[in-house]
Chains A and B, each alone.
Chain A
Amino acid sequence: MGFWESTFVPAIMKGLKTTLKHVTDRKTVTQQYPEVKPDLPLHYRGVHRLNRDEKDRVKCVACMMCATACPANCISIEAQAAPPEWPDRDKFPKSFVLDELRCIYCGMCEEACPVDAIELTHIYDLTGETRESLMYDREKLLGVYDQTKDNPRDPVRTKRGILGPAAEFHSLPTLGPATVVPDSDRSAKNPTAGVIKSKQESHS
């Protein structure tokens, strides 16, 4: 403790200098929210949407992967067999209800979806007057897609094929065994563990 330090004077002056500097520089870090919308990061996770495919049908194939992955159990899907004119899928969701109040916006459904049908958008100001109004059904979720598909911040991330990567797989990359396996393990010796016979191949 030096002389000046014990008189408190330099400390007070230094503090006042700092605060005065902030008063006079007129800079602000806060935003005027309703007028100025926040610039959210691209990976922001907001309200969900159900994507449409190129024929405006719901892209979802009712595989239940999202409902299984969901840690909050907020997705309930009722599947139905796809009509015969839809040869590219077996099922489609007869009803798809997502409880936006229960959802924790973790994005696991988006990760799990094999056909990139469910995606999280930038909509963050979700309000409703009743709990029921926030139970988003299939039509509402498709509506979110119509509302956000042209927004540059919410690009449709699916670029690969009609339905998504999983639907287009004819073969998975060959998986070599990651560890040393004993000779007796027959499954490990199979060099093409991930091959799925495609329809064309099986026909020919």
Chain B
Amino acid sequence: MRQLAGTGMHRATIDQRADAQPLAKSGYPRLMPELLITLLTISVVVGAIPGVCNYLILLERKLSAWMQDRIGPNRVGPMGLFQPLADGIKLLLKEDVIPPHVDKVLFLIAPAISVFTAMLAFAVVPFGPVNDATVPAFIRFIIAPNIDIGLIFIFAIGSLGVYGVVLGGWASNNKYSALGAMRASAQVVSYEIPLGMSVLGIALLSGTLNLEKIMQLQTDGGLLSWNIWFQPLAAIMFFTASLAEANRLPFDLAECEQELIGGWHTEYSALKWALFFLGEYTHMITISFLTSILFLGGWSFPFIAEASSAYPGLWLVKLLILSGKAFFFLCMMIMLRWTIPRFRFDQLMELAWKVMIPLSLANLVMVMFCKHFGFSQWWLLVGSIALFAAWGTISARLREAELAERPGYVKRKKVVPAAVHAGHGAHH
């Protein structure tokens, strides 16, 4: 019954929209404007993402250079601003090597899968103010609007992205590539669970899996209804798990230049290699938008863009705010990449199975408890901090116990060295 009502409502909105379009009256089929707008949005997004990815790579190179007291690319154009162009041309014109020992079909399909899944996941991400009356009719900030299973769709498609990695590694017929592919699959399988479970709390709180509705709930309520207040722990876990999903450092064990040469893309060159990285950076963009939409209130920002504010060009400001939030997370990812060393594989698995899965489960149970008994949502903030404290204490104790098992382990003493010395003397 409920399902039916849902679809009915959905159809009603579409009809309303179609009626609102002036084009519909001039003899076109009713679906035509919708289709045109969708095609326009798709072409804009598909055209923009590679460019944005290229400039993200430039940003990453610049930031990493500054972190290491270098200057970074500065030869092509002012401050190296045309460097992405030069990189693109280089990658296009480079010799495209297909080694003789590879499985050709899979070898060619793998990079395509990587990009395809990453792009497809972006289809349901609202990257600007959606359902806003002030936005010109031909602009829509989401490719596929009103998808009621938006979140599930993203996770389903996003986790398919690992097929690109696995197939690429397997088809390369090379031990390093195969090792990288195996690591990638183990890693993605492990981190898929905390990634999904950390946002289940949001889904419960909002009562929907529709990203636009989740965003709208937060923008209507303003700063104090941002999900970060109620789910801070989930936000951290979501961000961490998505780093692992995107194979970004400190979780880039699949790539792992130092041990595996390049992991799954060892045998790839030129544009096929570039496609893998296009996929990775698209994944990063999706994650950044998702984090800002799910936890940081979408386009809402105190005083500048609230539900009640109204001034000309507001939709542009909203778009800039949401992009700015996403940009913040992108910078964060780049900073983290050049700050933290890579995890060891057992540490990676430990973090997923011993820390993040139990914590996200506890967080979920906490939300369910809160919802069922109708407590104030603010208890979730207290609960999240308590969970964090409990995890810290438990893992410190566990680590202490583990270390105590090791031969030659001396527990750190808090007494001053002089007293220790005196004690030694007395024993002898």
Q: Pick the contact of B395: A6, A20, A22, A26 (CB < 8 A).
A: A6
Chain A residue with the shortest CB-CB distance to B74: A32
Complex CA–CA separation, A174 to B256 (angstroms): 67
Chain B residue with the shortest CB-CB distance to A23: B66
| Cross-chain contact A22 with B339 (CB below 8 angstroms) | no
B392 within 8 A of A: yes
Q: Pick the contact of A23: B63, B74, B388, B403 (CB < 8 A).
A: B63
Tell me how far the C-beta of B115 lies from the nearest C-beta in chain A, rounded to whole angstroms: 30
| Cross-chain contact B335 with A20 (CB below 8 angstroms) | yes
Complex CA–CA separation, A19 to B333 (angstroms): 13
| Cross-chain contact B393 with A3 (CB below 8 angstroms) | yes
| Contact (A28, B70) CB under 8 Å given A2-B396, A6-B399 | yes
Q: Pick the contact of A19: B71, B338, B389, B396 (CB < 8 A).
A: B338
Stretch at the interface among A10-18, A94-102, A116-124, A163-171: A10-18
| Cross-chain contact B399 with A27 (CB below 8 angstroms) | no
Contact with A along B55-88 (1 / 0, CB 8 A): 0000000010011111100100000000000000
B327 within 8 A of A: no
Chain B residue with the shortest CB-CB distance to A12: B340
| Cross-chain contact B69 with A30 (CB below 8 angstroms) | yes
Complex CA–CA separation, A23 to B403 (angstroms): 37
A126 within 8 A of B: no
Counting contact residues on chain A (CB < 8 A from B), the size range is 20 to 34
* A-facing residues in B351-397 (Cβ within 8 Å): 388-389, 391-393, 395-396
| Cross-chain contact A7 with B69 (CB below 8 angstroms) | no
Q: Which residues of B contact A40 (CB under 8 A)?
A: none
| Cross-chain contact B403 with A1 (CB below 8 angstroms) | yes
B400 within 8 A of A: yes
| Contact (A22, B335) CB under 8 Å given A1-B403, A3-B393 | no
| Cross-chain contact A15 with B392 (CB below 8 angstroms) | no
Q: Which residues of A contact B388 (CB under 8 A)?
A: 7
Q: Which residues of B contact A27 (CB under 8 A)?
A: 69
Complex CA–CA separation, A7 to B385 (angstroms): 13
How many residues does chain B have at the interface if contact means C-beta atoms less than 8 Å apart? 23
Q: Pick the contact of A1: B71, B389, B396 (CB < 8 A).
A: B396
Q: Which residues of B contact A7 (CB under 8 A)?
A: 388, 391-392, 395
Tell me how far the C-beta of B140 lies from the nearest C-beta in chain A, rounded to whole angstroms: 37
| Cross-chain contact B335 with A19 (CB below 8 angstroms) | yes
Chain B residue with the shortest CB-CB distance to A9: B392
Dominant secondary structure of chain A at its interface with chain B: helix
Q: Which residues of A contact B400 (CB under 8 A)?
A: 1
| Cross-chain contact A3 with B339 (CB below 8 angstroms) | no
Q: Which residues of B contact A2 (CB under 8 A)?
A: 396
Q: Which residues of B contact A6 (CB under 8 A)?
A: 392, 395-396, 399
Q: Pick the contact of A16: B66, B71, B339, B391 (CB < 8 A).
A: B339
| Cross-chain contact A3 with B396 (CB below 8 angstroms) | yes
Tell me how far the C-beta of A3 lies from the nearest C-beta in chain B, rounded to whole angstroms: 5
Complex CA–CA separation, A1 to B402 (angstroms): 11
- Interface hub of A4, A19, A22 (most chain B Cβ within 10 A): A19
| Cross-chain contact B393 with A22 (CB below 8 angstroms) | no
Q: Which residues of A contact B68 (CB under 8 A)?
A: 22
| Cross-chain contact B396 with A22 (CB below 8 angstroms) | no
Chain B residue with the shortest CB-CB distance to A5: B396
| Cross-chain contact A22 with B392 (CB below 8 angstroms) | no
A178 within 8 A of B: no
Chain A residue with the shortest CB-CB distance to B389: A3
| Contact (A1, B399) CB under 8 Å given A15-B339, A19-B335 | yes
| Cross-chain contact A28 with B395 (CB below 8 angstroms) | no
Q: Which residues of A contact B71 (CB under 8 A)?
A: 28, 30, 32
| Cross-chain contact B69 with A22 (CB below 8 angstroms) | yes
* B-facing residues in A18-57 (Cβ within 8 Å): 18-20, 22-23, 26-30, 32
Tell me how far the C-beta of A12 lies from the nearest C-beta in chain B, rounded to whole angstroms: 6
Complex CA–CA separation, A18 to B66 (angstroms): 12
Q: Pick the contact of B69: A3, A5, A28, A32 (CB < 8 A).
A: A28
Complex CA–CA separation, A32 to B403 (angstroms): 50
- Interface hub of B63, B339, B388, B395 (most chain A Cβ within 10 A): B339
Q: Which residues of B contact A1 (CB under 8 A)?
A: 395-396, 399-400, 403
Q: Which residues of A contact B67 (CB under 8 A)?
A: 19, 22-23
Complex CA–CA separation, A153 to B6 (angstroms): 83
Q: Which residues of A contact B403 (CB under 8 A)?
A: 1
Tell me how far the C-beta of B199 lies from the nearest C-beta in chain A, rounded to whole angstroms: 22
Complex CA–CA separation, A29 to B71 (angstroms): 9
- 8 more A-B residue pairs beyond the given contacts A7-B391, A19-B67, with a C-beta to C-beta distance below 8 A: A3-B393, A6-B396, A12-B336, A19-B335, A19-B338, A23-B66, A26-B66, A32-B74
A–B pairs, 28, beta carbons within 8 Å: A1-B395, A1-B399, A1-B403, A2-B396, A3-B389, A3-B393, A5-B396, A6-B395, A6-B399, A7-B392, A7-B395, A12-B336, A15-B339, A16-B335, A16-B336, A18-B339, A19-B67, A19-B335, A22-B66, A22-B68, A23-B63, A23-B66, A26-B66, A28-B70, A28-B71, A30-B69, A30-B70, A32-B74
Closest 7 CB pairs of A and B: A1-B399, A15-B339, A6-B396, A7-B392, A6-B395, A23-B66, A19-B67
